[in-house]
Amino acid sequence: MRIIVCGAGNLGKSVVSYLVKGNNDIVVIDDNQRNLDEVAKEFDVLPILGKPSHPDVLERAGAKDCDMILAVSDVDEVNMIVCQLAYTLFAIPKKIAAINSKTFLDPLWGMLYNDNHLPIDLLISPDIDIADNILKILKYPGCSGIISVLNEKYCILTINIKENCPFLNAELIQVSRHDGIDIGFVNIIRNNQSFLPDMYETLQVNDEVNILIKTSDIYGVISAFGLEKPTNERLVIFGGNEIAEYIGDKIENDDTITSCRLIEEDIDNAQRLAKKLNHVVVIHGEMMSDVILKEAEINRADAAIALTDNDKDNLLAALLASKNGVLTTISVINTPSYNNLMFSVTDNILIDRSAVTISKILKEIRTAKLKKAYSVSREQGEIWEIKLSEGMICCNKKIGELNMAKNCRVFAILRGDDLILPDQITKLEVDDLILVYVDSTAVKQSEQIFS
């Protein structure tokens, strides 16, 4: 697939880092030479210097032969213009734009986004999606991530196994049903490697585990695994970008949040946020300063969230917060290479920008007909949600007959209102809603099976 990525900033780089893993021909456009140099140095892409909203630049990038264009610059209006040019001048089949402004996302203007007005096939809002992920984690202290699946009746919960876990060294078959709670084990990351466990595998310290449970059972499961933490009532936010602003807006009317203090180093942005956010105390100053941290009352915080554009600053801020006794620390990372950093040093929760963004466009770049798709396990795998229909190759076959690749598995079936945790002899039926774990090295083979 030939793909043009417009924008080589943090978002563009995170998208490129995932797309280059597939059999894709990637062209990156940006008017900032430094951004282009960084992307070209790290990834096998063709860099084009210029404004992506200029037709001649798009033509030079090969827009006439392009299969998909991703407009992911930092400016919403530029991304809109790119999609318009892609449609009008170059007839690019698939056009995706990053739009984060709440004004443009207002349902009142939803009729704008069609071929007669603004021809955008898919709107993504990475900053809002990241903020929503963070708010979910804050709501359920003790987990590291939550993905809603199967019509939101179920979720995939990410947890880390600690030394005090009651199920330490227990076989999964013993854990799969606890106090009336059914637990389906999706995969385990151990020593930074993802694998699909059998039911006789045991849980080890520092395992990162993805489990399938009913959404209503989240608190019970967190408690059962010994991961309970106090409610996140007092927050400290490092950085005043769009993600921070969205979180600040959301907690304005959240009675569970008693205080929120935001540290921002840019004076103009700090003043703007102070005027906009009524219930957030905005502090201007250097994030790592002892004086500023004291003013932010970091030693009293339940959770600290680091949202700057600098990964190292975010990781360091989380470490400082942890050293000051903060139990829940969250860092947004823009470069996947930081994914494994500090994993064993603290309980810091990493929010990978590329994984969040790619999860929104995965079903557009996969040939299998997917209802939803998610990048998981530090980009080592994907979870596909598929509604089976007449004519699909896999229908009316036993799972064992599908010849799925190693480290790939159908791990759940919703048939009507019944959840089935299948085995190799379970037959797939038309209208089943299934969940599939796909190893990142076996995407093509899996696409053929579920086409």
Cα separation of the two ends of the chain: 17
What is the fold, at CATH topology level, of the domain defined by 2-124?
A: Rossmann fold (3.40.50)
Do the Cβ atoms of 176 and 219 come closer than 8 Å?
Answer: no
Q: What is the pLDDT of residue 344?
A: 44
pLDDT tens digits along 346-372:
578 999 888 898 998 998 888 888 999
| Among candidate residues 273, 10, 242, 279, the one with its CA nearest the CA of residue 131 | 242
Do the Cβ atoms of 95 and 119 come closer than 8 Å?
Answer: yes
DSSP string, 77-113: HHHHHHHHHHHHTT--SEEEEE---HHHH-GGGGGGS
CATH class of the 360-449 domain in this structure: alpha beta
Cβ-based burial of 193 (10 A; exposed 0-12, middle 13-18, buried ≥19): exposed
What is 142-224's CATH number, 2.40.50.320, 3.90.550.10, 1.10.10.10, 3.30.70.1450? 3.30.70.1450
Domain map (residue ranges) of the chain: 2-124, 142-224, 234-355, 360-449
Q: What is the pLDDT of residue 424?
A: 95
**Is the pTM above the cut of 0.85?**
yes
Residues pairing with 47 in the sheet:
28
Return the CATH architecture of domain 234-355. 3-Layer(aba) Sandwich (3.40)
Q: What is the pLDDT of residue 231?
A: 94
70, 130, 338, 308 alpha-carbon torsion, rounded to 10°? 100
CA distance readout (Å), 386 to 263, 371, 450 = 43, 5, 8
| Three-state DSSP state, 218 | helix
CA distance readout (Å), 144 to 158, 329, 381, 444 = 5, 10, 17, 29
Pull the structure tokens for residue 380: 């080592």
Q: What is the pLDDT of residue 200?
A: 95
What string of pLDDT tens digits covers the 451 residues of the chain?
899 999 999 889 888 988 887 778 999 999 999 999 999 999 999 999 999 999 999 999 999 999 999 999 999 999 999 999 999 999 999 999 999 888 888 887 778 888 888 899 999 999 999 999 999 999 999 999 999 999 999 999 999 999 999 999 999 999 998 888 999 999 999 998 999 999 999 999 999 999 999 999 999 999 999 999 999 999 999 999 999 999 999 998 888 999 999 999 999 999 999 999 999 999 999 999 999 999 999 999 999 999 998 999 999 999 999 999 999 999 999 876 665 554 444 578 999 888 898 998 998 888 888 999 999 998 899 999 999 999 999 999 999 999 999 999 999 999 999 999 999 999 999 999 999 999 999 998 999 999 8
Helix (H) or strand (E) run with residue 412 in it: strand 409-415
DSSP string, 293-334: HHHTTGGG-SEEEE--S-HHHHHHHHHHHHHTT-SEEEEEES
Q: What is the pLDDT of residue 359?
A: 92
Q: What is the pLDDT of residue 426?
A: 97
**Phi, psi of 391, rounded to the nearest 5 degrees:** 95, -10
- Using a pLDDT cut of 70, give the percent of the chain over it: 98
pLDDT tens digits along 53-82:
999 999 999 999 999 999 999 999 999 999
Q: What is the pLDDT of residue 345?
A: 47
| Fold agreement between 234-355 and 360-449 | no
| Three-state DSSP state, 243 | helix
Q: What is the pLDDT of residue 102?
A: 81
| Among candidate residues 66, 96, 85, 69, the one with its CA nearest the CA of residue 2 | 66
Do the Cβ atoms of 232 and 302 come closer than 8 Å?
Answer: yes
| Three-state DSSP state, 360 | helix
